[in-house]
Amino acid sequence: MNAQGVEICMLYQFGWTTLPGLRGLSCSEFRASPTAKPDNERGVAIEFADDTERDAFVKQAEEFFAARRFTNAADAFDTVKAYVQEHAAKRNSG
């Protein structure tokens, strides 16, 4: 928070790698890079208050998606994007 009590957040581009496997596509190598220009075609933008919050979310995503498999790239992308947006909505409402 700044001196006026307003929480300051940094905008990050959240991305991941989708790889083929024997049981379907997997998502891993999650990352969040600071950005001023979000690219929602290749990822999703999300705000974090600090590096600790960002790192915790990246770790949480890695754990959540470690065992998940997808039948196609569009499903994988949409599922991860929805997961990130749901996290952002919970954060903003709480």
- pLDDT tens-digit readout, 27-75: 999 999 999 998 888 889 999 999 999 999 999 999 999 999 999 999 9
Residues 76 and 23: beta-carbon distance below 8 Å: no
User: How many angstroms separate the first and last alpha carbons of the chain?
Assistant: 16
pTM: 0.84
Which band of pLDDT confidence, cut at 50, 70 and 90, is reported for residue 86? very high
pLDDT of residue 49: 92
Pairing, β 26-34 against β 10-19? antiparallel
Task: Average the pLDDT over 78-83 and give the result.
Answer: 96
Given this model, what pLDDT does residue 27 score? Answer: 97
Which one is predicted more confidently, 92 or 80? 80
The C-alpha angle 22, 15, 26, rounded to 5 degrees, equals 10
- Say which amino acid occupies 61: A
What are the domain boundaries of the chain?
A: 29-93
Q: Quick one: which of 20, 15, 40, 44 has its CA closest to 30?
A: 15
**What confidence score (pLDDT) does residue 26 get?**
97
Listed residue (26, 31, 18) closest to 68, CA to CA: 26
The predicted pLDDT at position 84 comes to: 96
